[in-house]
Structure 1
Amino acid sequence: MPPTKNAPTEQTSTDRFRLLVDAVQDYGIFMLDTEGNVASWNTGAERLKQYRPDEIIGRNFSLFYPAEAVAAGWPAEELRRAEKDGRFEEEGWRLRKDGSRFWANVVITALRDPDGKLAGFGKVTRDLTERRAHEEALRESEQHFRLMIEGVRDYAIFMLSPDGVIESWNSGAQLIKGYSPSEVIGKHFSLFYRPEDLEAGKPEAELKTALQHGRVEEEGWRVRRDGSVFWANVVISPVYDANRLLRGFVKVTRDMTERRRLYELEKSSKRMSEFLAMLAHELRNPLAPIRNAVTILQLEPSPSPLVRSSRDMIDRQLSHMTRLVDDLLDVGRLTTGKIRFKTEQVPYNLVVARSIEAVRPLLDARRHRLTTEMPAASLLVQGDATRLAQVLQNLLINAAKFTPEAGLIELKVWQDGTQLYTSVRDNGVGLSAQALSQIFELFSQGDAQTAARESGLGIGLTLARSLVEMHGGTLNAESEGPGRGSAFTFFLPNAQAVADGAGDEDDIGSGAAILVVDDNRDAANSLAEILRLMGCQVKVAYDGPSALELFRKQAPQAVLLDLGMPDMNGYEVLAALRALNGGEQVTVAALTGYGTDEDKQRALAAGFDEHLTKPLDFAALQTFLQAAGVAVES
C-alpha cells in the first residue's frame, strides 16, 4: 500500500533526528566507528571541543584525552567496557583544540545492527568544569571548616546523631573530656553525665528541649573519662538538611570550672567580709567599756606605781587588739574593693607626727630609739590623712616588732621633685631572699621562725602596700639578709612644700551637758565617767524612752547615742529626738561597733552629725566635742 500523503518517510525521520542532534549546543554528541574514529560531529561538540567537522571527522577520539590517559590506554579501555556492558559513563579531564582542559561527563553507548553486530559507538560529552569548581570550593570550604573545628581547643565541639550517638570529635573535646576519637565515636553522649542526671533523664530531656526551642543552653557538672567532674557550659542545637529533615545535633561544651571556682571564691569573700564585720562589731562592744575604763584610770591624778603599770599594760594590749580588729575589717574591704577614702590636701608633717605618737607606747615598751629626718618646710600631699597614717603606723609597728629590744629605727622623709618619699629602716632581724619576695602577700609573716615569736595576722604590710598604691605610689622592701635589718620605702605623687602657717588648736574650756545613751551599762557608765573627768556634766540613759524623757527635761549640748539597742534602736531614738523642742539644734553622734564606709554613710544620711566607732578613741571623742562646741577641761 503506498504511503499516505504527507506521511514522513524513514529518510525524513532520520533527517529530522540529525537536525535535532545537531541543534543541541550544551552537549557534544557524536558517533565513533568501531575503531574509535569520529564519524559525526554536532554543533555542541564543535562548541565544546572547538573543532569544526572537517577538522575532526575521521580522526581518533583519543585526541580529546590528556597524554597520560592516552599512554595508559584509557580511550581503548572505555570502548572495550562500553562494548562489553553496552554503556560506559565516567567523569574526567578532556582536552580542547587549543590544549586547555575541561572537566567532562562522558557517556559512551555501544551501537549494534539488527544482527547484534557492533556498528560503532555513540558518545555524549558535557562540560562540568563550573560544577566541579563549585564542588571543589565546597569541599575546600568544608575541609577548612573541619580543620578550624578540629583546631579549637577551648571548646568541645562534636556532632550527635538524632538519637544522641557521637559522630564526630574535635581536639577540644579530647582535651576537655579525655577521650580519643576512637574511644568515643559511636557511643551515646550520656556517658558524660553523672548517675543522678542519667536517672533523671537529663540527656534525653536536653535533646527534646533543643528540638522544641531550636537550642538549649545550661550549666552543670559533667564527667571526664577518668571519672572526675568539671563544671560545663553546654549548648545543643539541632541540625537539619536542605529538606528540613533532622540530621542530628551539634553540641558545644566549655570547661567553666575555673570561672565557677572564682565565683565561689567571690561569694566566700563576701561571706567572709560579712563575718568579719560582725566579728568586729561583737569584739568592739566589749572593747568599748574596757577602753573607757583605761581612760578613766589615765585621768586619775596620782595612781600608785602598780596601778599605773597595770593600766599601761592594759592600754597597750587593748590598742594592739583594736588594731587587729581594724586590720581584719580593712582586709575584708580590700578583697571586695570597698575601701574608700577622702582625697584632700593633707599636711604630711602632721601625718608623721600622729603616726609616731600612736606607735610611741610600743617603741617605749621595747626601749627602741627612733630618729626622724624631715624637710624643714611643711609638706602637702593629695590623699586621705587617716589612711596615710595607717600606712606609716603599720611600717613603724612592723619595725618595732621585728627589732630586738633597744634597737634603732630610722624614719626619713624627703622630697624629689613632686614625689614625696618616706623610709622606715631598722637594725632588726632582717629578711631572707625568699621572705623578701613574699613579704607583701596576704597573711605572710616573713621568715617562719621569726614570725612565730611575734603576734599578728600578717596583713599589715599587705594593707600598707595596697593603700599606698591607691594613692598612686609604690611600697618596696629591701634587706641585706637575716640579722641585717630591713628598710621599707614608699613614695607619694603630687607633693609640694609650703611655708609654715598652721595655727594652734583652740583652747578648750569646761562646763557642758552631755547625754550618753547605751543599753550596755558598763559602756555607758564608763564613758560618762570619762566625760565627767573632762569637766562635762553628764546624764546617762540605758534605753530610748529614758533618753527622750531626759531630753525633754533639759536639752543637752551633745548626745552620744548607741545604735544597737533593743526595742528602740538609735535611728528610731534620733528621729524622735529631732522632733522634740531643741532637737534639731543638738549635735548627735552615733556610737556603733560597725565601722564600714556604708555604715557611716547610712548614719549621716539618717541625720547623725558624726559616726563614732567602738571602742571609742579618746582623740575622736575630743574632736567630736570640739565640733559640737562643748568645752572640756584640758
Structure 2
Amino acid sequence: MATQTALTLCTQSNGREAEPKHFVCGSLDKLFTLTLDMFFIVGFDGYFKQLNSICEKTLGYTTEEFLSQRWIELIHPEDQPAMLERLQELTTEARTVQFENRYRCQDGSYKWLLWNVAACQDEQLIYAVARDNTECRRAEAAQRESEEHFRLLVEGVKDYAIIMLNPAGRIVSWNTGAERIQQYQASEILGKHISCFYTEKDIELGRPLHGLEIAALQGRFEDEGWRIRKDGSKFWANVVITALRDEDGRLSGFVRVTRDITERKLAEQELQQAHDELEKRVAQRTAELTRTNELLKQEIAEHERTEAALRQSKARLKQQAQQLEAEKQHATSLLGKLQRTQAQLIHTEKMTTLGQVISGIAHEINNPVGFIYGNLDYASCYINDLMRLVELYFQHYPQPAPAIEAELDAIDLNFLMADMPKLLSSMKVGATRLRQLVLSLQNFLRTEQTEMKPVDLHEGLDSTLMILRHRLKASEEYPEITVNKEYGTLPFVECFAGQMNQVFMHLITNAIDVLQASVEPGKPNYQITITTGVQDMKAALLEGKTPEKIPHAVIRISDNGPGMSEDISCRLFEPFFTTKPPGKGTGLGLSISYQIVVDHHGGQLTCVSEPGKGAEFVIYLPVRQVALSASLSQCA
C-alpha cells in the first residue's frame, strides 16, 4: 500500500472503522497522556485514530468530534496546499517533516500550530505532534508594529538628530532631524564613522572614541562642543550617547541624539560678558569707596593720636578734647553712611541693568502712542469745525463753480463727511488697545523677579489673554473663540509672576490649538472657560500628626474641544510627548509648565478629559509658600 500516501489521506475518504483502535500501549501510553504537546495518530484515510487530552483543552473539540472529521478539514484553506506539499515528502523517504499552519478551533477561531509529522507505511498511520505557537506569532507581530512605530517617531523628529551606531561607531540609521542639522542625506552618510562630525583637534584628542567608550562602560555619555556640518560650518551641539545591549548583555550599538544649541550658547556668552562688565563696574565703585574709607580711617587715627597727646594737658585742654571726641563720633557716623551707600549703589547698579530692556521698550512705545492718542481729540475737533464750515458754504453758496462741483463728485463729499468721524473713532480705539497691550506686556514680562512676591493672578491671566487676542478673533480659516472669565475672589498669591504667566500662556495656547485643529462645519461655538477660586487642601505633616488644610488658589482652564483618551492624558506632562503633527509642537510646553507649578511652587497641575467632552487643566497653588513649613514647625 505504498501508493496510499499522505496526499491520499488528505483528499479522499475510503471509509472508517466502526470503532477507534488504541495504537499506543504500555509505558508509551503514559508518555502519550502526560506530554504537554498535542499528540495525534491519523490513518492514511485522513481520519484521526487517537489523540491525547491536550488536544481537547487547546482546540476545544471533544474526542468524538475529532474522530468524526478528517484532518485536512480543520486546516485553514490558505494553508492546505503548503501542508499537502510537505506531507508529499513522506512518500519519498522515511523522515520527519515540520511545518506550521492555522488550525480551526471549536469556536471558529484559528490558532497557529507547529507540527512534527512522521509516517509509518507498515501500519498505514501518521504520527503527529503539534505545539500551540499562537502567542509567539502575536508577540512577533506586536514587536514588528512597535519597532515600526518607533522608527516613524524617530524619523519624524526634526529638532533632534537621532542616529543609530554599530558597536564600532559607524552610522546605521539617519532621521529627518539629522538631515536638517548635519546637512547630509542618508545615502551620503550611512556607513561612515561618527568622527566625521568632529573637528580635527577633537579627533586628534580621541574624543569620538572616548565618548563611545564611556557610554559602553556607564550606559550613557553626554557632552557639549563644536561639531562640523557637511558644508564645513560649525555649530555648538549637545550630544547624548546611550549604549544598546541585547538580551545577553552584549553591546549591540549606540543611540546618539544631537541638539543644535548654538543660539543658546551665544546668548550665554553675551550674558556672561554683560555680567563681567557689571562686576567690573561694581569692583571699580567698591575700590573707590574702599579708598575713601581708608582715608577716613587715617583721619580717625590722626585724631586719636592728637587726642592722646592732648590728654597730657587735660586740665588745660579739656574743651579741645571734647571737641575732638565729637569729631571722632562724626567721622564714625560718616563711615557708617559710606558703607550703607556702598551697599545701596551695588544693589541699584544691578537693578538698573536688569530693568533696562523692559523699561526701554515701554518708554519707546508709550511716547509715540501717547502723542497719537493725545492729538486724536484735537484732530477730531478740527475736522468737526471744518465739516461745519463746509456745511455753511453749502447753505450760503448752493451753486458752486463747475470746477468745485466736479471735485465734489470726484471725492464723494457726502461719504467723506459721514465716514470721517467713524475713521477717527476707530483710530482712537486702536490707540487705546495699543496702550493696553503695552501695559499687558509690562505686567507679563516680570523676568526681573528673583524671589516670590504676592501677585494678582487675575492680572497675569488678563495680560496673557490680551497678548493672545489676535488668535481668538475670527479669520478666513478659523471661527471666533469665546473666552468665558468666571473669576472668583482670589487673594494675592506668593509666586514667581513671570513663571506663572508662562504656564498660563502654554495652557491657553494649547487650548486654542486644539479648538482650531477640531473645526467642524455646523458647530455653533468654540469656547475657553477660565475659572478661579480658593480651596483648602489637606497637606500631610509629620508621621502620627493630623493632616492640616492649607488654602490653595485654584485656576481651571477648560475648552469644549474633542477631548482625549485616558492613555493620552496620562502622558501629557512627559517631555517630548505631543499629539500635534510633526513640526507643529515640541512636546515641551506642558512638561515645563508642570515643572514650574510642582517643583518651583509646591503646587499641583492636573488634566481631566474624556473623548468628546473637552479637556480641563487645573492649577493648585499654595496662597502662602511658608504656610506648610510653619505648620510643620508648630507640630514639632
Q: TM-score range by the shorter chain?
A: 0.3 to 0.5
> Counting helix residues as a fraction of each chain, which structure ranks higher?
2
TM-score (norm 2): 0.41
TM-score (norm 1): 0.41
Q: Which has the higher contact order (CA 8 A, sep 6+)?
A: 1
